[in-house]
Amino acid sequence: MLSYVAKTSLKAAAGVTVATGVYVVTYPYLCKQRSEKVVVIGGGTAGLGVAAMLQNEGMHNVTIVEPSQVHYYQPLWTLVGGGLANGKDSEKPMEDVIPKGTEWIKKRVEGFKPEANQVTLDDGSTVNYDYLVVAAGMQIDWDAIPGLQEGLAKKDSGVVSIYDRNTCEKTWNTFNAVKNDSSFNPANPAKYLFSFPATTLKCA
């Protein structure tokens, strides 16, 4: 079976590598008797997907570290910005999407100790692991563009983004407002400026 996993590596008990890079070849008969502890950092789509896959393949000692009480299916925000979905549909209680059988630690990771196979949590406690999956997602630096946060917060600024639950609906509302404005002229439409970062981004 060939499965997709965000960069991680697991080894069979006999030392045979069964996962490397971003593609994972899983062998259920190798996983059935395995008791190694796998810690997954992040309760987003990637982290939950990896945890569920490991559970399905017989890894029964899987822990997810995620402080949020709400899970957001962020790829849907692109469709929300295009008027094809509702932002509310991207939300689910985290407890409803945590794979059954996994342990959920509702704390934030503050540091890593790879030499000791430990992660440090925001309360100072530590969690041991045999294997670690880091799927914490990306932290958007809104302040990197002066005035961006103020523009997003202002209703009629014309500044929008699909990369946040609080702004993705504003994207479609703004486009609609321009189109429905009495001064709108299809022969000479309003100009839109789309920015596309050169760095890694969530999706496009």
Residue with tokens 């949020």: 68
* Predicted pLDDT of residue 179: 75
Low-confidence ranges of the chain (pLDDT < 70): 1-33, 184, 203-204
Q: For the chain, what is the total number of helices (H) and then of strands (E)?
A: 6, 12
pTM of the predicted model over 0.85: no
The Cα–Cα gap between 92 and 15 comes to 39
What's the chain's average pLDDT? 82
Q: Which residues of 99-110 are buried (b: 16+ CB within 10 A; e: fewer)?
A: beebeebeeebe
The Cα–Cα gap between 40 and 109 comes to 11
Inter-CA distances, 9 with 17, 24, 50, 93, 132, Å = 8, 8, 12, 29, 9
